[in-house]
Amino acid sequence: MALSVAQLLGSPADGTDLDRNLEIGIKATGASSAIAVGRVVFLTESSGEWAIATTGSTGRMGVVPKLDPVNVDADSTLTVATGINSAWYVEALGTIKPGARAAPATGGKLIQYVAGNVGTTVAENDVEAAIKDFERAPFVYEGHYGEGSGLGNAPTQITTGQIGRFRIAK
């Protein structure tokens, strides 16, 4: 029986080794609110707390997995999927083409990332901006559920509100 879109959100998309790809962290919201499964979170390094990622978030990122126990309002901690090359189902907040890098947007959803252009004369701040660009887009869109499994089953672009398979590439 096929899974519904709601059931996919936050689920592992491949045979990922959960022991190596999950970590327990402290929620920035403390014990006051749950962070929904399938949402992208980032580590606020100054406090050591995980928070819902938004536009412009940088640093370590991961996905809240749909694995028991899922964090609830009363929890001060949560499980975060952070394993490089692990894939998870996340909701899009715009059109993302297959193979494109994706970055967090409002509410821990993902958008296609477009890096800024570097001029012909490269300055130190251009290099720093390029590094930040890479940190802002640590996900790669691979397709909807069941897509991309063979030459006759190419992945298609995802649009707002759809759930897709995203690989943590950084």
Q: What is the pLDDT of residues 121-168, one digit of tens each?
A: 777 777 777 777 666 778 999 999 989 877 788 999 999 999 999 999
- pLDDT for 100 equals 94
Q: How many CB atoms lie within 10 A of CB 74?
A: 10
pLDDT digit string (tens) for the chain, length 170 residues: 455 667 787 877 776 667 788 999 999 876 668 899 999 999 998 999 999 999 988 889 999 998 887 888 888 899 999 998 899 999 999 999 999 999 999 999 999 988 766 667 777 777 777 777 666 778 999 999 989 877 788 999 999 999 999 999 87
Q: Give alpha helix (H) positions in the chain.
A: 5-8, 18-21, 124-136
pLDDT score, position 122: 74
Cβ atoms of 25 and 80 within 8 Å: the answer is yes
Write the CA distances from 63 to 4, 60, 83, 110, 167, integer angstroms. Answer: 19, 11, 10, 11, 10
- In this prediction the pTM is 0.84
pLDDT for the residue numbered 1: 41
Bond before 155 cis per omega within 30 degrees: no
- pLDDT at residue 134, rounded to an integer: 67
CA of 56: how far to CAs of 53, 104, 144, 147, in Å? 8, 7, 25, 29
Query: Using CA atoms, how far apart are residues 126 and 132, in angstroms rounded to an integer?
Result: 10
Residues 112 and 43: their CA atoms lie apart, in Å, by 21
